[in-house]
Amino acid sequence: VPVQYGLYSSFMGSFVYCILGTAKDVTLGPTAIMSLLVSSYAFHEPAYAILLAFLSGCVQLAMGLLRLGFLLDFISCPVIKGFTSAASITISFNQVKNILGLQGIPRQFFLQVYETLRRIGETRVGDAILGLACLAALAALRAMKSRLPPAGRAEPLAARVSYLIIWTSATARNALVVLSAGLVAYSFQVMGCQPLTLTGSIPQGLPAFRLPRFSMAAPNGTVPFRSMVEDMGVGLAVVPLMGLLETVAIAKAFASQNNYRVDPNQELLAMGFANILGSFVSSYPITGSFGRTAVNAQSGVCTPAGGLVTGALVLLSLAYLTSLFYYIPKAALAAVIISAVLPMFDAGIFRTLWRVKRLDLVPLCVTFLLCFWEVQYGIVGGVLVSGILLLYSIARPPIQVSEGDVLLVQPRSSLHFPAIECLRDTVCSRALAASPPRSVILDCCHISSIDYTVVVGLAELLQELRKHGLSLAFCSLQDPVLQVLLSADLEGFQHFPSREQAERCGGVEPGGSGAAPFTSINESSLLPT
């Protein structure tokens, strides 16, 4: 779409997020990932892109109102770390072409690396010198701010003024570097010699505030709303979901670094309203921007109200300053982005996870490696691997077995339907393999909930042990679990309030009376026919 649509998409999200957002650093706006996704479903037509923003916002808003934000809690810390580390590398290298002044470099990371190295001989000297100088200036100003001692009130006025100047320059280093580079580029332009690659012309003027078009004129008639929706297809699900994943992943990454909490449901509402209202000003779908969020964080933003400044400056620029953007060198903007995102790479996380829990390296590495292919694939892949590991821990809970006159079996977590086969195999193999075979006491002190499949499995276990002349008694049942088992009316069900009472009565016969046996219909009534 025409370049001005990028600016149209850059201010409404900032205004909405400062009211509804929960992460102080996050900036909503157009991103490379979202732009590529939208291009797959908008067919290079602004009307399709704007309508997709409206419909994506409706989906996100509905998810927020239905309190589905808990689904985003499945993005684990290793996935976040893998995403941020890979994104810092890919985004930084994506800006190398602007530092070197190269044109026509593909966006895909591996092709980008190959083409950049192949064409490094075409580097524009002016862009390279300016870009490296901006990087050095930004690094120096950041180091200066971190080492700047606070000025006390007892200091002389000159010292306090000097501190204020240095602190302001270091805090506003991104704007300072861009303005300085723009002045250099303008000076070269006046002299009639331009060795730098400039941003170029951008159309001036604010977009009209109006509803998105629900139909579109075509050479052979009008494309109705229904046809536009059918043309977008799965994009109506892919675009809002990937936007949410990217925003929440970025918000959680910066929240963990700055010790604040992100509310996923509130993020859903913020995203939904931002996309719906953004479509009224010709915005295409927006999401959290890693690069701009990193710039926000490095600039020292303290609250989401920083979005007011961002949005106001974009509006001011659209109305009056687009002609001045012409002179901003791309190398200076690239230096700002590289300086902001490169510190997000966390090399120490690999060593930390190796020490803490090596299995967590799997989702970390999957996310990290897939993000070099496509960021959205990395996040989805990491979430899937984390989910598989979580499901495996549910399906194979730790089970402690102690042998004595009876076999004491203690599951160390709640029982859900994937785990019942593991429990049955453990009990049967140990109870029947003992010489002589032993009755079993199931210590349920750690079990807070069970489901119907578990009840069926316990009924089958009772039945199998009874065939071998053995009994199964339960002890330390929590009230919710006890009520479920009583409601199931298991034949031969025996419950003891504590493990000690169960062990004292360990010789009860199958179906005999323990502390308080319960008799009922046959277990087969619970089994599927």
Q: What is the tens place of the pLDDT at every residue in 157-212?
A: 888 888 888 888 887 888 899 999 999 999 999 998 889 989 888 888 889 999 99
Predicted local confidence at residue 218, as pLDDT: 81
Predicted local confidence at residue 519, as pLDDT: 33
Nearest residue to 138 via CA among 91, 175, 86 = 175
Q: Per-residue pLDDT tens for 442-466?
A: 999 999 889 999 999 999 999 998 8
Predicted local confidence at residue 325, as pLDDT: 82
> Residues 327-364, buried b or exposed e (16+ Cβ, 10 A)?
bbbbbbbbbbbbbbbeebbbeebeeebeeeeeebbbbb
CB atoms within 10 A of CB 5: 18
- Band the pLDDT of 375: cuts 50, 70, 90: confident
How far apart, in whole angstroms, are the C-alpha atoms of residue 376 and residue 273?
22
Q: Are 341 and 92 in contact, with CB atoms under 8 Å apart?
A: yes
Has residue 496 got a pLDDT over 60?
Answer: yes
Query: Which phi and psi angles does 401 have, rounded to 5°?
Result: -120, 125
The predicted model scores a pTM of 0.74
Distances from the Cα of 317 to the Cαs of 171, 193, 207, in angstroms? 22, 26, 13
Q: Is the peptide bond between 480 and the residue preceding it cis, with omega within 30 degrees of 0?
A: no
Predicted local confidence at residue 118, as pLDDT: 93
Q: Are 232 and 52 in contact, with CB atoms under 8 Å apart?
A: yes
Residue with tokens 């490169």: 342
Nearest residue to 309 via CA among 21, 31, 24, 11 = 11
Has residue 90 got a pLDDT over 90?
Answer: no
Nearest residue to 40 via CA among 237, 310, 272 = 237
Query: Which phi and psi angles does 396 have, rounded to 5°?
Result: -125, 70
How far apart, in whole angstroms, are the C-alpha atoms of residue 191 and residue 334?
25
Listed range (52-66, 194-208, 405-419, 491-505) with the worst mean pLDDT: 491-505
Q: Are 446 and 481 in contact, with CB atoms under 8 Å apart?
A: no
CATH (residue range 399-504): 3.30.750.24
Q: Are 458 and 440 in contact, with CB atoms under 8 Å apart?
A: no
The DSSP line for 395-451 is HS--EEEEESSSEEEEESS---GGGHHHHHHHHHHHHHHSSS---EEEE-TT-----
Q: Is 173 helix (H, G, I), strand (E, B) or coil?
A: helix
